[in-house]
Chains A and B, each alone.
With several copies, the nearest count.
Chain A
Amino acid sequence: MRETVKLNYGGAVNAALARSLEDYPEAILFGEDVALPGGVFGVTRGLRKAFGARVFDTPISETAMLGAAIGSAMMGRRPIVEIMWMDFMFVAFDQIVNQASNVRYVSEGRLTAPLTIRTQQGNAPGACAQHSQNMEALLLHVPGIRVAMTSTPQDAYDVLRSAVACDDPVVVIENRSLYAGPKAEIEIGGDPMPIGGHRLRRPGADVTVVTWGSITSRVLAGADRLAAEGIDAEVIEAVWLNPFDHAAVAASVARTGRLVVVHEANTTGGFGAEIVARVVESGASLKSPPRRIGARDSRIPAAVGLAAAVLPQEDDIVGGLRAAVGR
């Protein structure tokens, strides 16, 4: 039953989890501090109470947690597991790269691993180098793993529900700086949508900007500033990164003739390169060279002032877009 409610981003995640646990009796939810305490960001609050033993806390054992998700998924559960920070995934990366990814393919489809890994990433003021990274690109080089990243309450809800419904391993990447954001009217309660697709956040004629994650709002702010200068940027938020909607980007670039990709992740080896490569490989005719705006290939310092010098700021985005359109 569809309804419109006012929820912030964290509330939308919570609602999607609750609905998924309702829809799928085989769904289970676990992670460090997610059950009795309701999550270190409060995002899973109330779910233990509502769903009992299906929602539980785990030891600080990411490998065991991901293994538990894979094994239970093979056996017909639909686990949703939280890795508190994307940075922590690397203590257990084998379970994603070598295990979850291979379940369906290697077994010729006899086994499946319908699991969802919820995590969150990115820098927040004062966060240390081990709590600040943007690592989606690593997952995007691992066939067999679906990946999505959201920045709005509506998508936080919709994408998570699609992820849980998906019969393959999906990593949904959130951002802790969004959880306590402003409430928005969102529609909840419909059937989960199929995975994939993009969001057109701002139509425009002069340049196609592809972005994802929490930096989207910075991109939109930059685009608004440029609108005042007469530069009309089209902003696509690529909520699903695998599968990625390359066709949508191609169609947009075909109209605008220019491409800029913005991500908070380090530039070198980031997924921006893939998007640029796909567009130019297709032979699209561009009015100016494509550009990427990402972090400056660095570790992330804790000092806010230093981190700002590493991570892409609104001015970097505005500058990059201006350069792309030749102004």
Chain B
Amino acid sequence: MTTDDHLADLHAMWRIRVLEEKILELRLAGDVVGSVHLSNGQEAVAVGVCGQLRKQDAVFATYRGHGWAMARGVPAYPILAEVLARTAGVNGGRGGSAHFSAPEYGFYGENSIVGAGAPIATGAALASTFDKSGRVVVTVFGDGAMNQGAVPEAMNFAAAMDLPVIFVCENNKYSELTPINDMVRNPDLSARATALGIPATRVDGNDAAEVAAATALAIQTARHGLGPTFIEAHTRRIVGHYIGDAQQYRPEGEIEADLAAEPIVRLSQQLIASGVAADTVEATHRRAVAEIEEAARRALAATAADPATALEHLYA
């Protein structure tokens, strides 16, 4: 990877981070209503994975999906408009923060039922085996979702049928307020995939390049008809699970350690250490801020979703 590639990753991560920070701000200001789940600290996974995808590929995410949408190319404006319940939102405000989709960008949606996206993504991959699109499907879920029956069912189904799907487990160590290691005996979640005959890797999810490398291999496997791959990406969320989550469940020092290891800080430091000018590095942030500020301004000014349309689109 070239320095420019790394700078591009950094910029991509900053765009997500600044988007999330803006959403938080809008939520605290009361412009955004309802629960939002931010991905601060986990940006390298979305950026690393999505950087390897082609236009026709598909991502199925969770409620913690803003960053995945953006990494897939959904512009900030329709995301913010969605979260702000505007007509211009990707789904006109129907999806909201936790359940929006933008298939025109290969973002097949968030899902607010833990684990439920994996079988659907598997179905999307099933379609690939018929339509000759070469489409590879990515489904992302958390560590906690590994304990939801839908996930092993989907993994076995995909394995048995050699479907081109990549299971990305964002292992951020917590499910809401509960540490994953209290809920499993074997902290190596990737072993579950291996047991099903699925090639599995564990990567540093705070390193976009490492995530990208694992994804590239998984994509090759999928495109060659060799079926699914499982990627366990270790990362941390550096915000609460929900707005107002005081994170009392975190052992002392953990948040600090997580903040030191988070992907934006880390990549910035690496770039500077490797001789890139601080201003060049910082410019990635400035550009992201400018973009998101502008998008937020527009989204705030946009028309609210029209209640008269509330009953539309239920059926064909």
A residues with a Cβ closer than 8 A to B are 26, 28, 32-33, 36-37, 40, 53-54, 56-77, 79, 87-88, 91, 94-95, 98-99, 102, 104-112, 124-131, 143-144, 146, 166-168, 296-299, 301-310
Contacts and interface: CB of A to CB of B under 8 A. Distances in A.
Contacts of B114: 60, 88
B119 A302 contact: no
Nearest to A130: B112
Contacts of B123: 67-75, 79
B156 A64 contact: yes
17 contacts: A32-B175, A58-B183, A60-B144, A72-B123, A72-B126, A72-B127, A73-B123, A76-B127, A105-B94, A108-B92, A109-B313, A112-B316, A129-B99, A144-B314, A299-B314, A302-B34, A309-B308
A102 B99 contact: yes
A-B residue pairs, 5 tightest by C-beta: A126-B34, A67-B119, A71-B123, A302-B96, A303-B93
A311 to B, nearest CB: 10
Interface string B248-290: 1100000000000000000000000000000000000000000
B95 to A, nearest CB: 5
Contact of A131 (B98, B176, B304): B98
B304 A303 contact: yes
Interface residues of B, number: 81
Given A71-B127, A308-B307, 10 more contacts: A32-B175, A70-B123, A75-B123, A108-B94, A127-B96, A128-B34, A130-B98, A130-B99, A303-B92, A303-B96
Contacts of B177: 33, 36-37, 40
B94 A60 contact: no
Interface string B108-137: 110111111011111111111111000101
A75 B99 contact: no
Nearest to A100: B120
A87 to B, nearest CB: 7
Nearest to A37: B177
B122 A75 contact: no
Contacts of B93: 301-303, 305-306
Given A74-B123, A98-B116, A143-B314, A64 B153 contact: yes
Contacts of A33: 175-178
B131 A128 contact: no
B311 A59 contact: no
Contact of B113 (A53, A69, A88, A108): A88
Contact of A75 (B58, B94, B96): B58
A19 to B, nearest CB: 19
Contacts of B104: 110
B115 A60 contact: yes
A121 to B, nearest CB: 14
B233 interface: no
Most buried by B among A124, A128, A168: A128
Nearest to B125: A71
Interface in B178-202: 178, 182-184
A305 B305 contact: yes
Contacts of A75: 58, 123-124, 127-128, 131, 135
Interface of B: 32-35, 58, 60, 63, 85, 91-104, 108-109, 111-116, 118-131, 135, 137, 144-145, 147-150, 153-154, 156-157, 160-161, 175-178, 182-184, 242, 248-249, 304-316
Contact of B315 (A62, A72, A124, A168): A168
Contacts of A131: 35, 98, 112
A296 B98 contact: no
Most buried by B among A36, A98, A108, A129: A108
A64 B32 contact: no
Contacts of B242: 40
Contacts of B125: 71
Nearest to B147: A59
Nearest to A300: B94
A207 B218 CA distance: 65
A59 B304 contact: no
Given A108-B94, A298-B310, A64 B154 contact: yes
A166 B103 CA distance: 21
A88 B315 CA distance: 24
Most buried by B among A107, A125, A305: A107
A309 B306 CA distance: 9
Nearest to B150: A63
A75 B123 CA distance: 8
Contacts of B98: 128, 130-131, 302
B115 A125 contact: no
A130 B113 contact: yes
Contacts of A111: 101, 103, 108-109
A104 B101 contact: no
A117 to B, nearest CB: 13
Given A91-B150, A302-B96, A305-B85, A166 B316 contact: yes
B122 A68 contact: yes
A59 B144 contact: yes
B314 A298 contact: yes
Contacts of A167: 316
Most buried by B among A61, A72, A102: A61
B116 A301 contact: no
Contacts of A146: 315
B248 to A, nearest CB: 8
Contact of B153 (A63, A72, A296, A303): A63
A74 B116 contact: no
Contact of A127 (B32, B34, B157, B248): B34
